[in-house]
Structure 1
Amino acid sequence: MDLVTPVNAYFKQFTWIGEDHLEATISVVKSQLNLQSLPRARSRPCEALNPVFPGMHVPPAAWSDTCSRQASWFRTSRMRTWHLVVTNAPVSIPGACLSGTIKRIFIERLPVVQRPDYRRLLDEPEFKRAAPAEWFHLLEREIPVFKAFLERKGACMDLDAFLEMHSANHAQFLVPRGKVLSTVEHEGERIPCSLFPSTFICSACMELFGVIGSHLKKKAVMNCPGLKHVSLGPGELFLVEIEEEPRVSGDEAERV
C-alpha cells in the first residue's frame, strides 16, 4: 500500500490575487499575521516556501528572474498578471482568484512508471495545448549546468530524455483524472502524484502554486532540485490542496 501520512507542522497557504486587490491584500495579511511589512520574493517564487517567512508577496516579475525558460508556463497561463501571496497560517483574503494549501506528507513508495507510458502523456491534447514553445528550447547557459548535474547524479541520459521527463511530469498534472498515470492513496482516495524522484523534476513551483493542475483538488508533488528554500526528507512529498477555483472568463478560461 502506498499510503501517505502527514509530516510535522509544515504549512503554507497560497493565494492568487489581481493587481486591483494587491494593496488591500497586503494590508489584510499584515494585520492578520501582525507583521510590520510583507517581504517580496526577488528571484524565485519558491522563496515564499521558506518556513522562516510568516508571509511573502511574489510579484509576476519574480517568476522569470532565475528560471526564465521554465517560467514560460507562468507567462502563458491565466495567472500571468496575478500576484501570489504565501503565508504560514490561514488568512482570509477577499477577492482571491485561486487559493490553496501546501503541507508535507510521507509516502511509503513512489509508483514506478515506464518510459513508453510517460511518453504517451506528451501526445495528450491538454499538454500540447498548454505547453509553451519556449519550454522545449534549453537556454545555452542551461546546457552545461544540466550536463554536469546528470553526471553528478550518475544518470546516463541525454538532455532530450531529461527534458522529456520534465515535460511528462507537467503533463501528468494537465490531463483529466482518467488519464493520470500515477497516483497515491490519501485519506481513502487516489490522488495524482509526481512521476519521478526529485532528480528528474523541474519547475515544481508550477504544480505547487496551481499554475499547472489547478483543476485537481489534491495532488502530491515532488520537489525539484532548484527548490532550495524548504527541504523534503526521504519519502516526503508536498500535498497541494486547492480551496477555490480561479475566477476567469473568455479566452483566459482556455489557458492552463
Structure 2
Amino acid sequence: MRILGYNEVREEIKKHIYQKLERLWQEGISGADFFIAGIGSAIEIFGKYEKVMDYEGNIIRADKLLEFVREIVTDYAVRQILHNGIAGELSPLTRFYLLWRWTYQEAKVLFDNARKLAQSTGIDLTREWNKGFIIKDKEFIKVLGLQERDLACLRADTHRQAGLEDSRELIDVLHNVLLLWKEGNREDMKKVLSDSGFGGKDAFYRVAQAISETLQIDSKEKKLLDGFLSGKERLLSEIKEAYKQRMLF
C-alpha cells in the first residue's frame, strides 16, 4: 500500500466510477441498489492506499471521500433520470425530490440514509425538514407527495396557508399547479405558471415528466402528472398568447 494525493485519488475514482455507473445503468439497476453498488465500487479505489493526503499534508478521512463519491453518483443518476441536458439548472431541493422519488418512491426512510442522500444534493436536512415537503417523523424522514400536500391544503383551506402559493421552488410550484389542474382551476393554474416564470421553461415540464417516470403505475401523483402533461402543448400556447396580450396593453 502507498500514500497518494487527494486530487489524484479523486481523478482515479471519477474514471473508475463512471465506467461502473454506466454498466449498472445499462443493467437496469436503480434506486438504493444503484447507490450501494456505485459507492461500493469506489471503496475499491481508496481502499488500495494506506493514506490519502491533501497538498498541505493533511490526511483525508474516508468519510470525505465517500461524500465525494455520493456527489458523483447523485449527479450521474439525476442526469440519467432527466435524460441529460438540464440537471445543472435544478435547485438542490428539486434534485433531492426527484432523486428521492427514484430511490425510495413514497416510503419513509431512516434519518441517516435520508441525510446522506440530502447531503449529496447539497442540502442540510436539519434546515429543511418540517418547512415544506420534507417531514421528520421520529427517526424517519418522509417526503410529501402531491396527495399529502393536497390534504394539507384542504386542512389549511388555501394553497397559501399550506406553503405552496408563495413559494418559487420548482417542486412547490409543480405541486401547486397540479392541485389547481386537479380542481379544474385553469386560470389560476396559468397565473401561477406565468408569475413563477416556470410556464415557458422546458426544465419545468421535463422535471414533471422525469418524476412521473420514477413513480409506480398506480401512483396518484403519476396519474396527475401524466394528465397535466398530456395538455402541455395547449397550455404553452395559451401562456404564450396571454403574455402577448399583456405586452399589448
TM-score (norm 1): 0.25
Larger radius of gyration: 2
Greater RCO (Cα-Cα under 8 Å, separation 6 or more): 1
Name whichever structure is richer in helix by fraction. Answer: 2
TM-score (norm 2): 0.26
